[in-house]
Structure 1
Amino acid sequence: MYNYVELSNLVQGGLQEKFNKEWVRVTKNIDDPNTSATAARSITITVTLKPDAKRKTINSTIATKSTIAPDNPLDTTFILGTDNAGNVVAKELLFGEEDQTFFDNEGTVRTGTGEPVDQSTGEIKPRTGNVVSFT
């Protein structure tokens, strides 16, 4: 009598299905450009065996899990200032330096923090809300 288990046949192929699901998850994570290309990933199969008191039957649980690479962190810069009421305000710097301007995707000239600039006067167009000073 032999004593081995064919993993692909275990639980009527259920273990193979669970492994394949994790395989797809891991390979998608490897292909994701937002994750580290060289980080190790893993798939773990856990087989838990619990025999009865007479050692005649064994209840078993089979689980799979994968460990994937996390998304790469994103970097940004904020500039700090105060509004008219003296409250501290932080705004994300979208481009270059605080006092630099750039063209957005629609061709609008904007400040480094994204406020639109009047192209004829060069003045920052007012936004609704409190005025913020970043000086």
Structure 2
Amino acid sequence: MKTNIDIGTLANGAVGERINLELQKVAENVQDPNTDWKKARKVTITITLKPDEEREIALVSADIKTTLAPAHGIATKLIFGMEKDGNVVAAELASGMKNQMMIDNDGDLADDKGQKVSYLERKQAQGGK
């Protein structure tokens, strides 16, 4: 017995179209520099056929699933402290070390959280007036 089924035209081409969409997702994931190039990507096509009692007609469903490489995790550091009134505060550490001044991307002096510091604030931080 020979079948005349073409997966590219199955369901008026919807199955082939879905496969192409999933392959496009894989291609985009492969090109994403935030993913691990070593991880395998997968497109799984499951075609389920449920025949009727007479075995003459079958209901067909096609499920296409993609397994992509996840994006790399993102790490940063937070600093914690307490205000004079007892409120706990947290901020992202931008300078690399708590209480360390830094030069920001604009060439300006900034505190350990990346906030610009004025000349007066800098003098006060150094213990001067």
Shorter chain as denominator, the TM-score bin is 0.7 to 0.9
Moved over 3 A (4+): none
Letter in structure 2 aligned against 1:50:
K
C-alpha separation in 2, matches of 1:106 and 1:124: 22
1:120, distance to aligned residue in structure 2 (A): 5.7
Q: Which amino acid aligns with 1:47?
A: I
SS in 2 for 1:19: helix
Length-normalised TM-score, structure 2: 0.84
Aligned residue identity for 2:83: D
On the 8 A contact 1:42/1:67 being kept in 2, the answer is yes
Aligned length: 125
**Structure (1 or 2) with the greater strand fraction:** 1
Unaligned runs of 5+ in 2: none
Identity of aligned residues (%): 35
Find the aligned partners of 1:63 and 1:108 in 2 and give their Cα distance. 56
Give the 3 Å change call, closer, same or farther, for CA 20–123 of structure 1 in structure 2.
farther
Matches of 2:74 and 2:124 in 1, distance apart?
A: 28
1:69 equivalent in structure 2: 69
Which piece of structure 1 moves more, 34-43 or 101-110? 101-110
CA distance in 2, matches of 1:6, 1:35: 34
Structure 1: unaligned runs, 5 residues or longer: 126-135
Give the Cα separation in 1 of the matches to 2:27 and 2:88: 45
- Displacement, 1:121? 5.6
Shift of 1:54: 1.9
Asked if the contact 1:117/1:123 (under 8 Å) is kept, the reply is no
3-state SS of paired residue (1:24): helix
Q: Measure how far apart 1:76 and its partner are.
A: 0.6
Residue 97 (structure 1) aligns with: 97
The aligned counterpart of 1:86 is 86
C-alpha distance in 2, partners of 1:104/1:4? 67
Further displaced range: 41-50 or 116-125: 116-125
Counterpart residue type for residue 16 of structure 1: G
